[in-house]
């Protein structure tokens, strides 16, 4: 078990996170928020291979330890491959970890009985996404920002906990 797992994502009203492998919004403030948050608590970030290729354009996140969850054994410069999620979590007992997508990895991690926080940027609207964040029903809201606006998008930051 890791010390605290923190999942971070931007979601629409239906918990949509992507459409055709891309985020259907452009909010630089949220991108900055993602960068700043994932540099905290040890700056260790686990991302699924597809998200790494599509969202990060196969470039490791700067100033963070990048773990890529993949079936592949092909090395990725600047990243550590993770082929077995359960083994990885067991071997990282007592350490903080960020999980940054995608949808299937979020689902697998949320099913674990581990201390967890969700850092969600709620973007108002339905963006016809085809990839979704799992249900957050079992999490309790612990912090919420004021409503914000940028590039015509309305959003707010929220932190949830299962503790």
Q: Which of 87, 135, 79 is nearest to 107 (CA)?
A: 135
The whole-number pLDDT of residue 92 equals 84
d(CA 80, CA 5): 18
Whether residue 1 has pLDDT greater than 60: no
pLDDT tens profile 77-134:
999 999 999 999 988 877 899 999 999 999 999 998 888 999 999 999 999 999 999 9
Rounded to 5°, the CA angle 123-127-133 comes to 65
Percent of the chain with pLDDT over 90: 80
């Amino acid at each position: 078990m890791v010390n605290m797992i923190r999942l971070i994502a931007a979601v629409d009203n239906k918990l949509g996170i992507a459409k055709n492998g891309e985020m259907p919004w452009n909010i630089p403030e949220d991108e900055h928020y993602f960068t700043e948050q994932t540099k905290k608590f040890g700056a260790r970030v686990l991302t699924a291979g597809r998200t790494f290729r599509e969202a990060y354009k196969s470039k490791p996140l700067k100033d963070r330890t990048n773990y890529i969850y993949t079936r592949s054994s092909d090395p990725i410069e600047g990243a550590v491959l993770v082929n077995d999620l359960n083994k990885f979590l067991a071997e990282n007992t007592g350490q903080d970890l960020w999980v940054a997508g995608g949808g299937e990895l979020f689902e697998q991690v949320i099913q674990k009985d581990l201390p967890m926080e969700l850092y969600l940027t709620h973007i108002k609207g339905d963006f016809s996404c085809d990839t979704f964040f799992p249900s957050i029903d079992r999490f309790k809201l612990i912090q919420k920002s004021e409503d914000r606006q940028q590039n015509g998008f309305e959003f707010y930051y929220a932190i949830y906990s299962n503790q």
